[in-house]
Amino acid sequence: MKKQESIVKPEFRGPEIPGARLVFIPFLPFPRLISEIKKLATLTRSIHSSQLFYLKKKAVLYGPIGAPASISSLEKIRLLGVKEIILLSYCGSLSEDLRIGQAFIPVSALSDEGTSRHYLARKNKFYYPDRESLLNLKSYLERNDLSYTVGSIVSTDAPYRETPSWMKKMQKKGIRAVDMEASAVFAFSDFYGIKTAGLFIVTDELFSGCWLNGLRSQPVHETTRKYFLPLIFDDSF
């Protein structure tokens, strides 16, 4: 199917993204970490309810949450020459062997949100990270002795409608985690030829049928600093 141009087009002006690389963080539950990014930023721009920080060799987009808002911001930022996106985010666990504080890399993302199909319509609703970016991310973590788990994730628009029947349906499909943006970011990136991979930290567990929320727990804070900060500030990545 031939790609049609949109009637409505994004508009945004600013310096090109350093190195054409963007780190996208939809949400960060630790304000001090945002302060650390701000201190090292050479320039800051506002986009909707999000902020774009320019670093030496990459830029960081902080916010917004959810597929529609995220892609709306990314549509504007792609005008600044983005060629690769690294998604750093948080997820809930639908698998007993995926616990709070663990690092998780999605190798596929099921769309249970409404944005992805407008970029790439797929019958099975699965979207994928870029193979090269995925391998580079894994290699970086392994070189730095940072362990991780891989699997499939589902992205939803309705985090407060993760019902027992919904969870069982996802588990039957082999889905191990849930977030709100991954499938849309993968679809958007594939559509525009942008390389993309994602790294998630598990903040809560749902697999037992009861909700265990560890969003601001010490394990999540420690993993965030250990995994996310090097990927943000290390110029060799």
**Band of pLDDT at residue 48, cut at 50, 70 and 90:** confident
| Segment 160-164 long-range contacts (CB within 8 Å, at least 24 positions apart) | 162/92, 162/206, 164/209
- CATH number of the 18-233 domain: 3.40.50.1580
- Whether 141 has a pLDDT exceeding 70, the answer reads yes
Residue 23 has pLDDT above 90, yes or no: yes
User: In angstroms, how far is CA 50 from the centroid of its own chain?
Assistant: 14
Q: Where are the chain's structural domains?
A: 18-233
Predicted confidence band of residue 138 (pLDDT cuts 50, 70, 90): very high
Checking if the pLDDT of 158 tops 80, the result is yes
Q: Are strands 126-127 and 43-47 parallel, antiparallel or unpaired?
A: unpaired
Q: What is the mean pLDDT of residues 184-205?
A: 98
Task: Specify the pLDDT at position 1.
Answer: 54
Assign 155 to helix, strand or coil: strand
pLDDT of residue 236: 86
Does pTM surpass 0.85? yes
